[in-house]
Chains A and B, each alone.
Chain A
Amino acid sequence: MTNPSLGTTPRLDRWITITADGTVLVRSGKVELGQGVLTALAQIVAEELDVDPSRIRMVPAATDISPDESYTAGSLSVQHSGGALRAVCAQARQLFLAEAAARLDVPSESLDVTDGDICAPDGRRTSLWELAGVVALDRDLAPGTDAKRPDDYRVVGRSLPRVDVPGKVAGRRRFIHDLRPDGMLFGRVLRPPSRGAVLTSVDEQAASRVPGVVAVVRDGSFLGVVTEREENALRAVAALRTGTVWKEADSLPDEHELPAFLLAAPTEETVLHDAGTTAGPAAGSVHARFSRPFLAHASIAPSCGLALWNGERLAVWSHSQGIHKLHASICRSQGLAPENVVVQHVEGAGCYGHNAADDAAYDAVLLARAVPGRTVQVVWTREDELGWAPLGPAMVVDIEADLDAGGRVQSWRHDVWSNGHAHRPGPPSAPLLAATHVEAAETAQPAGDPPLQNGGGSGRNAVPLYDLPGQVVRTHRLQTMPLRTSALRALGAHLNVFAIESVVDELAALAGADPVEYRLGLLGDERARAVLQAAAERAGWGSSAADVGSGVGLGVGLARYKNRGAYCAVVAEVEAETHVRVRRLTIAVDVGLVVNPDGVVNQIEGGALQALSWTTKERVRFDGRAVTSRTWEEYPILTFSEVPPVDVVLLDRPTDPALGAGEASIGPTAAAIGNALYVATGLRVRHLPLTPENVIAAMDP
C-alpha cells in the first residue's frame, strides 16, 4: 500500500533533521489533539534511528515547514505519519551508517548503534551527531531500505509516558488559549441570534463606550469587538447586542419529528454494496428502524484562534485538524497569495472531529484586520461553541432482514438517511462560518460524505462484518442542511453499528441462540472472532445468563472500524428499569502493532466513555430558529458518578500493521449498551439517546 504522506512529501529532510547538538527534529503534518500522537510518533523515530526518545523534538506543525498530511483524522496518524517516518528514518540511518563505515573503514553491517553512538567492532566510534553536517538528507526516499523487524523493537511497543503530561499537570504547558504574544488584544464575536438571521441595523455607540475598546467591526451580519482587556470584550459584546436589529425567520425542522424530517427531505442515494438477491420468497422477516439526534463535539474548551496582519502578510494560529486546508480557505476568502499566509498549529483541548477551530481562526482574521500590527485572540463563548460549531449529523437507519424457513438470513437491507459527515474547510462549498455572515457572503453547500474506500461517512460501518447473504447497503444523503453538520468521531459508525448489532441480537434471540455464539457462527474473520471471544471471556459471559427483563443484563457489540481498521468488541453490563445505568464495560481490541500500549488503552477507554455519554444522554436541542442547548445544563455530558469501570484487553499483533485506536470503540460500545438494555428490560430501544423518555416510548411502540 502506498503511503499518501510520502507521496506528497518524499524528501527526507522535510521530515527530520539530525543536529550536531544531539537532538532529532521531527516535522509531522499530524497534530496533537489530546490523543498522544506526538509521543507515538517520537517512539517510532527513536526506534528506527536507535536513539533515546528523550532526544526527539516534535516541531509544531505550520504550513510553511510541515509536510502536508491533510487532516489529523480518521485514526490514520500512526498509519500515515508513523509509516512515513519509519521509512524515512530507516533510510536516514542507513545513509549515516554508510558514511560511518567509509570513515572507519569497516563494513556497515558490523557497526553497532546505541543512542546515536556508532561503534566499530574494534571500539572506534563516531555518532549521528558528529556526522550531522556531513550526511545530506536533501534527497527523496529511495525504495529498498528495510525498516526494523518488530522482533527487534525496543522503544515501540512500550508504554512510554507521554511527553506532554508533566507540563500539563504543572499547569505550565500552553494551550492556544494561553498564548499571550506582546501587545495581544482580545477579540469576541457577536453571533446572529439565529440561523439565517440578517443584521438590519446596529448602534455601535454603546459598545464603543466600554473602556479599552480598540475596534468595533461590522461586515454584513458579522459583528465583533477588539479590546485591551478580556472582561471588557465580553462587556462590549453585551453592549453591542442591545443595539442590534435582526431580520429572522424559522428555518429548522421540528426537533420532535427528526426521523420524519430526515426521511422526507430530498436526498441523494448511493448504493455502497449490492450482493443482489437470488433467494426465493422469505418465510419471515425482521424490520427495525433506528435514529440518533444531532450531537455536539462539546470539547471542554471553546474554540480559539489568533491572527496578526502586517501589510499583506497574515499569520494565524489555530488548533485546526487541517492547517493546510484552513490556509487554503483563508487565502481564497481574503484574496491573499498563499506565500503571504502562514498557519501555525497550536494545541487546543480535546478534538473529536471537525469542530469550530477553523471558524474561530477566521473570526480572528476578520477582527485582526482592523488592528494591523497587533495580534488578536478570539475565544468563543460556551454558548456559541454548543450553538454554532458543526454538529454530528442526526441519522435514521432502517434494517430489514429476510429469513428462510430455517430462520437463516437470506437477504439483508441497510438504509441510512443522514446529512453528510464531511464539511471540512478547503473547498468553496464549505466556507468558514464567518465567511457566510459577511457582506460578500459565501454560501455553504450541504455536507458531503467521504467515499467508502476512504471509510465512508453516513455509510461508515454500514456493511456488516458478518457472512450474511444478499446484502444491499444504501445511503440517502440530505440535499438540504438546516443545521451545519460535519465529521464527529466515528462518523456514521456510531448508529450503523448500533443498528446492525441490535438486529443481529434479535436474530440470535429468534434462533434461541446465545448472542456471542450466534455471532461466531456468522464470522469468518479470525481477528474479529478473537476480539469477540476475548471480550466475552474477560467479562464472564455465559456464567451469569440473566433472564430477559430481570433489571440487569449483559450485552455485546462488535465492529471492525471502517471495515478495515481496528477490531473492537465490547461487553456492557447495564442496570435499568427506565433509567439506564451502565455498570461495567469490558473491551477487547486489536489494533495490529501497538506502538504505545497505554496510549491505545487510553484512547479506547476515552472513546468508549464518550460513546456512552452520546448514547445514553446527549441530544442537541433546537427550536424553529436556533440551537437552544447552549450550556452544560441543557447539554449534559457524562459525569464522574456515571462513569463505570472500563477494562481493556489489548490483543498483541506485532507483525500486523499499526491501526488507529481513536474511534474503534465508539460503535461497539453503543451497541453493547443497547443490547444489554434489552436483556435488562426486555425492550428494544432503537431511538437514541437511551433516556427514560425514549425507554418509556419503546414500551408502547
Chain B
Amino acid sequence: MTADQAVSLVVNGTAHEVVCDPDTPLLYVLRNDLGLLGAKFGCGLGLCGACNVLVDGHPVHSCDTPVWSVAGKSVTTVEGLGNEGRPHRLQETFIDEQALQCGYCTSGMLVTAAALLEREPDVDEAGVRRALDGNLCRCGAHNRIVRAVLCARTCRS
C-alpha cells in the first residue's frame, strides 16, 4: 500500500487527475472516480477480458493494470469508441447482428475488436477468433460477435 498521490491520465481524449493509491487498478479508477462504467469486472485476474480498455491503442486488462502505469498515456474505453450520434462501426454491426445475449462481455469484446481492426484491417475469421480468445463469453454469443467484427471490416473497406 502506498500513500495517495495525484495521477494524471487521458481518458477518451479528456485529461483527468485523480487522487488515490497509485497501485489502484485502472478499472476502479475508471468506474468509481471517472464514472465510466462501461468496462466490467469479471475476474480481476487478467483472464476474461471483460475489463479490457485500450492504452495507446493496445487492449489491456484494466483490472490488473495499476493506474500509475498509464500516467500520461491515452486510455480509450467503450464509451470513447464512439458516441450516440456517431457510433463506432463495430457498435453498429453489433446491433445489426444482435451480437450479444446478456451483454456483460460486450464492452471488452468491442474494444479488443476495435484494436484488432486498426492493426489488421483485413483480418480473416480465424484471426478474429484468435484475437478474441482471451475474451470469455458464457452466453454463447461467439459466432454473432465474429460476424459483427467481420462485417465491420468488410463495410469499412
A235 proximity list for chain B (CB < 8 A): 1
Contact call A170/B91, Cβ cutoff below 8 A: yes
Contact call B146/A300, Cβ cutoff below 8 A: no
Contact call B133/A350, Cβ cutoff below 8 A: no
Number of interface residues of A (CB under 8 A): 60
Contact call A602/B48, Cβ cutoff below 8 A: no
Q: How far is the CB of A353 from chain B (nearest CB, A)?
A: 12
B102 proximity list for chain A (CB < 8 A): 33-34, 299-300, 347-351
B48 proximity list for chain A (CB < 8 A): 300, 382, 632
Bound Cα distance from A175 to B106, whole angstroms: 12
A420 proximity list for chain B (CB < 8 A): none
A298 proximity list for chain B (CB < 8 A): 138
Enumerate chain B interface residues (CB-CB to A < 8 A).
1, 4, 20-21, 23-25, 28, 31-32, 35-45, 47-48, 50, 77-79, 82-84, 87, 91, 94-95, 98, 100-107, 110, 126, 128-130, 132-133, 135-146
Within 8 A of B (CB), among A199-232: 210-211, 229-231
Contact call B40/A177, Cβ cutoff below 8 A: yes
A300 proximity list for chain B (CB < 8 A): 40, 42, 48, 50, 102, 104-105, 136-139
Contact call A641/B133, Cβ cutoff below 8 A: yes
Q: How far is the CB of A212 from chain B (nearest CB, A)?
A: 10
Bound Cα distance from A166 to B78, whole angstroms: 13
B87 proximity list for chain A (CB < 8 A): 169-170
Bound Cα distance from A140 to B51, whole angstroms: 48
Q: How far is the CB of B132 from chain A (nearest CB, A)?
A: 5
Which residue, of B4, B132, B137, has the highest number of chain A Cβ atoms within 10 A?
B137
Bound Cα distance from A302 to B143, whole angstroms: 24
Against B, the Cβ 8 Å flags (1 = close, 0 = not) of A396-409 are 00000000000000
Against B, the Cβ 8 Å flags (1 = close, 0 = not) of A607-637 are 1111000000000000000000001110001
Contact call B45/A382, Cβ cutoff below 8 A: yes
Q: Is the interface of A mostly helix, strand, loop or mixed?
A: loop
Which 6 pairs from chain A and chain B are nearest by CB?
Answer: A171-B38, A34-B102, A609-B140, A606-B140, A168-B103, A349-B104
11 CB < 8 A contacts A-B:
A165-B94, A168-B103, A170-B84, A171-B37, A171-B78, A211-B1, A211-B21, A350-B101, A610-B138, A610-B139, A610-B140
New contact pairs (10) apart from A170-B79, A302-B42, A639-B136, CB-CB < 8 Å? A164-B103, A168-B106, A175-B104, A211-B1, A300-B102, A300-B138, A300-B139, A610-B139, A632-B45, A640-B128
Q: How far is the CB of B7 from chain A (nearest CB, A)?
A: 13
Within 8 A of B (CB), among A593-610: 598, 602-603, 605-610
Contact call A178/B37, Cβ cutoff below 8 A: yes
Q: Is A646 interfacial (CB-CB < 8 Å)?
A: yes
Contact call B144/A230, Cβ cutoff below 8 A: no
Residue of chain A at shortest CB distance from B131: A640
A352 proximity list for chain B (CB < 8 A): 138
Bound Cα distance from A641 to B21, whole angstroms: 38
Q: How far is the CB of A256 from chain B (nearest CB, A)?
A: 26
Contact call B103/A607, Cβ cutoff below 8 A: no
Q: How far is the CB of A377 from chain B (nearest CB, A)?
A: 11
B4 proximity list for chain A (CB < 8 A): 211
Name B91's contact: one of A164, A169, A173, A643 (CB within 8 Å): A169
Contact call B129/A641, Cβ cutoff below 8 A: yes
A646 proximity list for chain B (CB < 8 A): 143
Bound Cα distance from A639 to B133, whole angstroms: 6
Q: How far is the CB of B146 from chain A (nearest CB, A)?
A: 7
Q: How far is the CB of A59 from chain B (nearest CB, A)?
A: 20
Contact call B45/A229, Cβ cutoff below 8 A: no
Q: Is A44 interfacial (CB-CB < 8 Å)?
A: no
Contact call A173/B84, Cβ cutoff below 8 A: no
Q: Is A301 interfacial (CB-CB < 8 Å)?
A: yes
With A165-B95, A299-B138, A643-B142 in contact, do A231 and B25 touch (Cβ < 8 Å)?
yes
With A35-B101, A180-B35 in contact, do A602 and B141 touch (Cβ < 8 Å)?
yes
Q: How far is the CB of A369 from chain B (nearest CB, A)?
A: 23
Q: Is A243 interfacial (CB-CB < 8 Å)?
A: no
Contact call B50/A301, Cβ cutoff below 8 A: yes
Contact call A34/B135, Cβ cutoff below 8 A: no
Contact call A301/B140, Cβ cutoff below 8 A: no
With A170-B79, A177-B40 in contact, do A640 and B146 touch (Cβ < 8 Å)?
yes
Bound Cα distance from A683 to B78, whole angstroms: 47
Contact call B20/A36, Cβ cutoff below 8 A: no
Contact call B136/A637, Cβ cutoff below 8 A: yes
B41 proximity list for chain A (CB < 8 A): 177, 301-302, 379
Contact call B103/A173, Cβ cutoff below 8 A: yes
A598 proximity list for chain B (CB < 8 A): 98
B79 proximity list for chain A (CB < 8 A): 170-172
Bound Cα distance from A608 to B101, whole angstroms: 14
Contact call A632/B47, Cβ cutoff below 8 A: yes
Name A633's contact: one of B39, B42, B47, B98 (CB within 8 Å): B47
Contact call A631/B138, Cβ cutoff below 8 A: no
B42 proximity list for chain A (CB < 8 A): 300-302, 382
